[in-house]
Amino acid sequence: MPVLPLRDLCVMPGIAMYFEVGRKELIDCLERVIRTEEQQVLILTQKNSVSKSEDSQIEEFFDRGTVAEVKQITHLRDGQTIRVTMIGLRRAVPKTLATVDGVLMAEVELLDRLSASAPEEQQMAMAEEIRRLFYTYGEVTGKVGMAKVNSIIAGEDLETMLYEIATCMSVNYEIKQNFLEFDDIEKLYGAICSALDREIYEKRLQEEIDSRVRERINEDQKEYYLREEIKLLRKELGEEDSASEADKMLERLEKLKAPKKIKKAIREEIQRFARNGSHSSESSVSRGYVETLLQMPWKKMSRENKDLLHAGEILDRDHYGLQKVKERILECLAIRNLKPDSASPIICLVGPPGTGKTSIARSVAQAMNRQYVRICLGGVRDEAEIRGHRRTYVGAMPGRIAVGLKNAGVKNPVMVLDEIDKVGSDGRGDPAAALLEVLDPEQNKNFSDHYIELPLDLTQVLFICTANTLDTVPRPLIDRMEVIEVSGYTQNEKFHIAKDHLWKKQLENTGLKKSQLTISDKALWRVILNYTRESGVRGLEKQLGRLCRKAARRIVTEGAVKLRISDRNLEEYLGKPLYLLNMANARPEVGVVRGLAWTSSGGDTLEIEAALFPGKGELVLTGKLGDVMKESAQIALSVAKAYLGEQVEEGYFRKWDLHIHVPEGATPKDGPSAGVTMATAIYSAVSGKKVRADMAMTGEITLRGRVLPIGGLKEKLLAAKTAGIKLVMVPEKNQKDVNELEEEILEGLEIKYARYIQDIWKEAFV
């Protein structure tokens, strides 16, 4: 039987159909078939619809085809295409293919009609169901006219109806070819029902999507028209500027990185601003509020430097010493490497002025690659400085914390709270209490600023607080911070800081070059010893700046090319020495004992003198002493009386007045560390024993003669070393503090510990 190979087309048994043919070999085949008696041809569908192979193989076609009778051939006007009308007869299977006289021929096995194993009642139910489903298909999809649908479902034969429905369906030719593969009518029925259901579902889904799209388009068009109308109305009212500003704010909001709740609140505020209009009294307030919200770094963070070696190099480059602070920062970086989302520590640097507390915070920011923000709290008395003003007030503004974050532009800066010990309080609130929330890791995740009224996350901020003393800082605030003491510098540390940092800085500030002005090491030492007296290096920096200014003037006026400052010509620049070292006495004396004191500018030595005069047993105190030192003198006298009772005659202390004097009477003196010094002076004055001149002592005393621990030990030992003291008596409980000191401080000093006053007296008297 001749073979008519078709692409993308299947012919069903019992179904009449027509189509156009343009390939020459197919036209020749059909013209031969129409001249035969039976006019039958085998319709086979190619698997590959784009195949153009001339030598057709059986593998190129599907396994099932249809034997059809050619009814009519009509040549179209173009002369190259024919329209063929045929009717499918039976399904068939090609066995072999061969080309005979230019025509593709096939050995064909004809197949019987579909078998039906189901009873007649079930077949009738199947016919009713397929009619209902195909009717729905026609209604929903519109791919088949309803007249055609009604014509098909009016048929009685189930097999013919199924093939007619398969022919009318708008599905892929491969699916239709699959319908020819079924030999059982029930399986064919199931496959066609599934295909109809799928087509109906896809069409309904597409209609639903189209409906939503149309609704959205209608809403957008409606919104567009309304906005245009609002613009025209605002233009007539002269409020066009506020609308355009609101649009710009909305554009900035879209680019803002912030949580959804924050963006929603900002959007509502922008809409409120747009509704108020530019002439409203609230317009400027609302505009400023929105601008502040849009500038806050809700999610923006700077990328941290996690290289510990690099951070350590920066800290060592900028600062000499301060090992505890550097170690703590490097520990923080190490933890950030292991746990990037860990909360930043809250550090409080406590120490005398000029010790580099604020400047090292700037180096920390550089080492961690974070933004640096400094907030000075000295003299702050209004709680609104921390929490911000409520927007109900005219001129309201955010608090300093929120402003610091806004200026930094990121949510993880290094924020320095400078002079936290000088925060005051009055009727406007207690700023120190407001700082409790700022510096509490459990609370500052949702810090509330009265102006912003939206939660600010401060957990990623590295807070570094600075203070000269913790005496005025509330206890709850201290508990929230990690306190690191930044004690005074040794003379050697001051020398290195001056040589490596301060001198270069002052040369740069005055515009001098290294070749124009140099200073000898001996001159630097003299500046440190004779022109400054402090724990830090601020005064030292001022003196070096004074040297540079004097030299700059000489270079300009005298035309000097190169100047050198040495210890011999230092007084020409700085004048006579401002301070003379309070050196140890040359020889032992009676009633003269050297004590050690801590001051805000560092350590110092004090000579306490005691003398007896005939009188009525009165105690005279001079030297502008505070209440604590006066009480120490009373206790020292009682202790001396207790130990000297057997060595003096009865009624001795009722016949003699005791005068205790602390030199430099114009300087106020107070503190709980002069008890042992006063007791030793009294004991020496009464007993007539001389006290070692190269010895100093510190510590408080009880009525039972026990020696109590003291603070500021490092500064006191530095002062003793500067004064040429060889032996220092320290309370036994301060031994742990001595063990933590650098070897440089202890070098040249003999430290002995005292538990009772007798331990000191054993070493003190010659």
Please state, in angstroms and rounded to a whole number, the distance separating the CA atoms of residues 680 and 697: 10
The CB density around residue 679, as the number of other CB atoms within 10 Å, is 29
- Does 359 qualify as catalytic in the annotation? no
Q: Supply 716's token pair.
A: 């006191």
- Given a contact cutoff of 8 angstroms between Cβ atoms, the answer to whether 21 and 82 are in contact is yes
Please state, in angstroms and rounded to a whole number, the distance separating the CA atoms of residues 745 and 734: 15
Q: Supply 572's token pair.
A: 């020409």
Please state, in angstroms and rounded to a whole number, the distance separating the CA atoms of residues 347 and 344: 9
Strands (E) in 501-586, as ranges, are 517-519, 563-565
- Given a contact cutoff of 8 angstroms between Cβ atoms, the answer to whether 40 and 69 are in contact is yes
- Does 673 qualify as catalytic in the annotation? yes
Q: Which of 242, 673, 684, 721 is catalytic?
A: 673
Q: Supply 173's token pair.
A: 């030719």
Please state, in angstroms and rounded to a whole number, the distance separating the CA atoms of residues 717 and 597: 10
Name the helix (H) or strand (E) containing 234: helix 185-237
Rounded to 5 degrees, φ, ψ at 316 are -70, -30
| b/e code 730-755 from CB counts within 10 Å (16+ = b) | bbbebeebbeebeeebeeebebebbe
User: Mapping DSSP to helix (H, G, I), strand (E, B) and coil, where does residue 76 land?
Assistant: coil
Alpha helices in 296-342 (DSSP H): 308-318, 323-338
| b/e code 265-287 from CB counts within 10 Å (16+ = b) | bbeebbeebbebbbeeeebebbb
Rounded to 5 degrees, φ, ψ at 678 are -65, -40
Query: Nearest Cα to 110, choosing from 89, 128, 125?
Result: 89
What type of residue is 518?
Answer: T
The CB density around residue 508, as the number of other CB atoms within 10 Å, is 11
Tell me the pairing of strands 16-21 and 82-100.
antiparallel
Q: Which of 494, 669, 714, 716 is catalytic?
A: 716
Please state, in angstroms and rounded to a whole number, the distance separating the CA atoms of residues 411 and 146: 68
Q: Supply 42's token pair.
A: 């085998």
Active site residues: 673, 716
